[in-house]
Amino acid sequence: MLSSLQPALVREMTVPKTANGNSSTNLNGAWKAPGRVQELEAMARELRRDILQTIFTAGSGHPGGSLSELEILISLYFYALRHDPAQPSWPDRDRLVLSKGHASPGLYAVLARAGYIARDELATFRKLDSRLQGHAHPMTPGVEMNSGSLGMGLSFALGCALAARLDAKDYLVYAILGDGECDEGEVWEAAMSASHHKASNLIAIVDRNRIQNDRFTDEVMSLEPLPLKWRSFGWRVLEVDGHDLPSLLSTIDKARTRRTRPTVIIAHTVKGKGVTFMENNPAFHGRSPNQEEFEQAMKELA
Ligand X SMILES: Cc1ncc(C[n+]2csc(CCOP(=O)(O)OP(=O)(O)O)c2C)c(N)n1
Provide the binding-site residues for its own copies, judged by CB under 8 A.
Answer: 151, 183-189, 192-193, 195-196, 221-223, 225, 228-229, 231-234
- For residue 268, what are the contacts with CB-CB under 8 A and spacing of at least 6? 208, 239, 240, 241, 242
**Exposure letters 2-18 (e unless 16+ CB within 10 A, then b):** eeebeeeebbebbeebe
Beta bridge partners of 240: 267
Asked if 255 and 263 touch (Cβ cutoff 8 Å), the reply is yes
d(CA 280, CA 273): 8
Span near ligand X by CB under 6 A; candidates 32-40, 149-157, 164-172, 246-254: 149-157
Q: Which of 4, 6, 1 is nearest to 113 (CA)?
A: 6
In angstroms, how far apart are the furthest CA atoms of the chain?
Answer: 54
**Closest distance to ligand X from the beta carbon of 12 (Å):** 32
Burial zone of 27 (CB within 10 Å; 0-12 exposed, 13-18 middle, 19+ buried): middle
Nearer to its own copies, 74 or 211 (CB): 211
Span near another protein by CB under 8 A; candidates 28-36, 217-225, 267-275, 294-302: 217-225
Asked if 271 and 210 touch (Cβ cutoff 8 Å), the reply is yes
80 binds another protein (CB under 8 A): no
Which residues would be at the binding site for Mg ion (CB under 5 A)?
Answer: 178-180, 209, 211
209: partner contacted, choices another protein, Mg ion, its own copies, none (Cβ within 5-8 A by kind)? Mg ion
45: partner contacted, choices its own copies, another protein, ligand X, none (Cβ within 5-8 A by kind)? none
- For residue 208, what are the contacts with CB-CB under 8 A and spacing of at least 6? 179, 226, 242, 266, 267, 268, 269
152: partner contacted, choices its own copies, another protein, ligand X, none (Cβ within 5-8 A by kind)? another protein
Q: Which of 46, 91, 118, 276 binds another protein (CB under 8 A)?
A: 91
Nearer to ligand X, 176 or 301 (CB): 176
Residue numbers at the binding site for ligand X (CB under 6 A): 62, 64-65, 68, 100, 102-103, 148-151, 178-181, 207, 209, 211-213, 271, 285
Residue numbers at the binding site for another protein (CB under 8 A): 58, 60, 91, 97, 101, 126-130, 132-135, 137-138, 144-152, 154-164, 166-167, 180-181, 183-186, 189-190, 192-193, 197, 212-215, 217, 219-221
